[in-house]
Structure 1
Amino acid sequence: MNTSSSHRDDFGVIIACCFQDYLLAKGACASVRHFLGDVPLCLLVDGDFSTESLEKAYNATIINHKTIKNDVLRERSFGWGTTRLIAFWESPWQHFLILDADTNIWGNVLKFADFENFDVIMDEPNYNYPDEEIIEYFFDIEEVEKHFPDFDWRSHRTQYCCPGVYFASRDIFSLEEYIEILDFIDRYPHIFKYGDMGFLNFMLWRASDAGKIRVGNADFQVLAPNYEQKDLEKRFAMTKTGPIVQNDDAAIIHWCGYKPLMSTSRTYADPMSFSRRKCLEAESGLRGLPADVLLQWEDFYSTFIKYKNKARKKLQKFFN
């Protein structure tokens, strides 16, 4: 990690999850342990379910509705697209890496954690977003120009990115600024897109333009849907004994489309399957066929909950 020893002593990995993706969050934790050793772990948990076995297996800190310190964050920042932002104020460490549940560490990604020069390090998308894609994935350009005329959104076309993973420092934003953004979203819910993908990019680059924070980009996030499965299989090669890292490769795999369940054919899931097996072994000592049977059951139950919730929402809309 490109930091001083004091920074290394005040750094950890934070993984945001809910009940439905907790099965993947356990795999994300195992990938941290496999590649980064004893780096401290924290789970940001939206929901009321037991995480005790994971806490014991990896000595993980838990931030949930019961343990969070700030009442405003408890009331307004749990949920899809906002849970992970709690880390900006309640991270157990000054510096952290935030991960979505559907991610895996691959190699020594800490080499990207340059906190000497940056307060936030986002992924480098290597893509010049045209207007229509900014409108689709990030924000309504016309409305942003109307409400935030000083924000030079054009200058960041090649820097907007999926914020499922990033390095950051605590307390770089005031809580008041965040509340203002949440209030704005309550009034205008359709301006910023995809949870925090639009408004976090907006907050970061607006603050950077004003000289309040230092934001950098580094190429470390691999969005699985953007690649052919054969290319993922080649880069993230697996054997029965584990991952094969080639040429000091380092990345964070993010399955932001089809989820890497055990028996899926829709995406390359082997790295996550390996990590989930390692976590189950750390939690209970279970290995081999019994472990795979249990993990398959987790997949089935998670899928059942997903479609049950979708059906319930459709029924609610129908009867309302």
Structure 2
Amino acid sequence: MEDFGVIVICCDQDYFMAKGVCASIRHFLGDVPICLLVDGTFSVADAQKAYGAKVINRMNMTHDVLKQRSFGWGTTRMIAFWESPFKHFLLVDADVIIWGNILKYANFKDYDVIIDRPCSDYSREAVQEYFFDIPVFEANFPGFNWQNRPFVCPAVLFGTRDIFTLEEYIEILDFKDKHPNVFKYGDMGFLNYMIFRAADQGRLRLGQEDIQFLVPDFPQEHAKKRFPMNETGPVVVDDEANVVHWCGPKPTLSSSNPYSEPMNFFRRKFLRDASGTTGLAAEALLQVEDLQRNIYVYKKKIRKKLTGKY
């Protein structure tokens, strides 16, 4: 595919999973270019060495306003729409793995943006909880009909660079500064709004496909059956192609719930590819990563208990 790559969003606390994402890309998608969208100053040299990953960070961006206002939870993803090194891209969070040939859905001939397809439209109560405060939203964006929309979790999407204007995004950021609790769950509310508004106005061609499996939404046995593993790795059944997303509890070596084996396999693969580390040495390194993650989560809970803020 011409001028295309996969962009993985990561920060220091989820880079241990982002490495697994990169390994899954190489396993299923061959030598497709990889780019890490990095929120922070930590090193990603191992991914650059193993897979030739490009990097977007504060040091090499073109747009100062994005550098100043679009890093952090809920906004980092948006940087890709203007700073992507590829015209077309698959944009994913760090807590996912690729499963199968997901590129079969990358139909940029007919669409500019391709998002997931939910099982059903959200109720008013669900929109209020997950996307935006409806009364305030309606008062400020009266021209947009939010009802009966197939909104999605935007952790997985195929996109096109410069499909939005920078000005419309800055307007959203300005609105968020004045009304911080209207759009919910980081960018989930306002990005859905931006996508569907632009589609309504004929500014982008929107497609929806079944491209995301939300692990917490299904019983563990269902996930195991749909994404089976054997001693050599993933077993793709019936040409399954999806992005597995651990949007709730994160997968670690010690976790029995959620189903973590696909991510564990690819974290091990990353160590083999990056440094040739296998066996007990690899297990020890992965356990250290898991411990560091657990310490971070514990400190975060204590901070919230003491201050009421993350």
TM-score normalised over the length of structure 1: 0.94
The match for 2:159 among 161, 168, 193 is 168
Counterparts of 1:311 and 1:43, CA distance in 2: 30
Partner of 1:297: helix, strand, or coil? Answer: helix
State the partner residue of 1:63: 56
State the partner residue of 1:91: 84
Q: Given the superposition, is the C-alpha separation of residues 171 and 291 from structure 1 closer, same or farther in structure 2, using an over 3 Å criterion?
A: same
State the partner residue of 1:276: 267
Q: Deviations over 1:245-277 (max 9, x none)?
A: 011110000000010111102200000000000
Matched, 1:286 2:241: no
Partner of 1:153: helix, strand, or coil? Answer: coil
Deviation at 1:140, TM superposition (A): 1.3
Question: Does the 8 Å CA contact 2:95/2:246 hold for their aligned counterparts?
Answer: yes
The match for 1:100 among 93, 97, 106 is 93
Task: Give runs of aligned pairs for residues 1-320 of structure 1, distance below 5 A.
Answer: 8-156=1-149, 159-317=150-308
Question: Does the 8 Å CA contact 2:252/2:264 hold for their aligned counterparts?
Answer: yes
Q: Deviations over 1:162-200 (max 9, x none)?
A: 000000000000101100000001101111100000000
Question: Any unmatched runs of 5+ in structure 2?
Answer: none
Q: Deviations over 1:134-160 (max 9, x none)?
A: 00000111112111111011141xx10
Counterparts of 2:253 and 2:129, CA distance in 1: 31
State the partner residue of 1:4: none
Q: Given the superposition, is the C-alpha separation of residues 108 and 191 from structure 1 closer, same or farther in structure 2, using an over 3 Å criterion?
A: same
Partner of 2:159: helix, strand, or coil? Answer: strand
Deviation at 1:122, TM superposition (A): 0.4
Deviation at 1:315, TM superposition (A): 3.5
Counterparts of 1:151 and 1:141, CA distance in 2: 11
The residue identity in structure 1 corresponding to 2:266 is S
Cα-Cα RMSD: 1.1
Question: Does the 8 Å CA contact 1:20/1:306 hold for their aligned counterparts?
Answer: no
Partner of 2:85: helix, strand, or coil? Answer: coil
Deviation at 1:128, TM superposition (A): 2.1
Counterparts of 2:155 and 2:288, CA distance in 1: 26
4+ residue stretches of structure 1 with deviation over 6 A? none
The residue identity in structure 2 corresponding to 1:97 is L
Counterparts of 1:192 and 1:258, CA distance in 2: 23
TM-score normalised over the length of structure 2: 0.97
Question: Does the 8 Å CA contact 2:114/2:207 hold for their aligned counterparts?
Answer: yes
Partner of 2:147: helix, strand, or coil? Answer: helix
Counterparts of 1:286 and 1:221, CA distance in 2: 31
Deviation at 1:240, TM superposition (A): 1.5
Partner of 1:97: helix, strand, or coil? Answer: strand
Identity %: 56
